[in-house]
Amino acid sequence: QKEVEQNSGPLSVPEGAIASLNCTYSDRGSQSFFWYRQYSGKSPELIMFIYSNGDKEDGRFTAQLNKASQYVSLLIRDSQPSDSATYLCAVRFSDYKLSFGAGTTVTVRA
């Protein structure tokens, strides 16, 4: 069974700190990985995608992928109160369907 697992949270960090979110997946054949942010009552919005092993940086966000360990993470640097949301890890499995983790709720304390 294809699964995407995220640390359950909630994760509370002070403003300006680094928030670290983790995700593991079960299908070794997966090729594409995505992080979405979802505010309460809203639909998900894409933050980053990563296809290759290593780090990918975009502004305050860094995605890290390790296919051997079947692990993908998201770092949020200089966390802001507006970053408070639920972060969804999504993995495109070998059948091209996108599956989501349960999400990690992040709260940034001012």
Residues in touch with another protein (CB under 8 A): 31-32, 34, 36, 41-46, 49, 51, 88, 90, 92, 96-103
Minimum distance from residue 44 beta carbon to another protein (Å): 5
Let me know: does 61 contact 78? Beta carbons within 8 Å.
Answer: no
Which CB sits closer to another protein, 71 or 100? 100
Minimum distance from residue 41 beta carbon to another protein (Å): 8
Which CB sits closer to another protein, 31 or 80? 31
Contacts of 59 (CB under 8 A, 6+ apart): none
**40-49, long-range: CB within 8 Å, 24+ apart, which pairs?**
40/85, 40/86, 44/88, 47/74, 47/87, 48/74
Minimum distance from residue 78 beta carbon to another protein (Å): 24
Which CB sits closer to another protein, 20 or 38? 38
Minimum distance from residue 62 beta carbon to another protein (Å): 17
Which CB sits closer to another protein, 68 or 96? 96
C-alpha–C-alpha distance, residues 24 and 10, integer Å: 17
C-alpha–C-alpha distance, residues 16 and 43, integer Å: 26
Q: What's CA 101's distance to the chain center, in Å?
A: 9
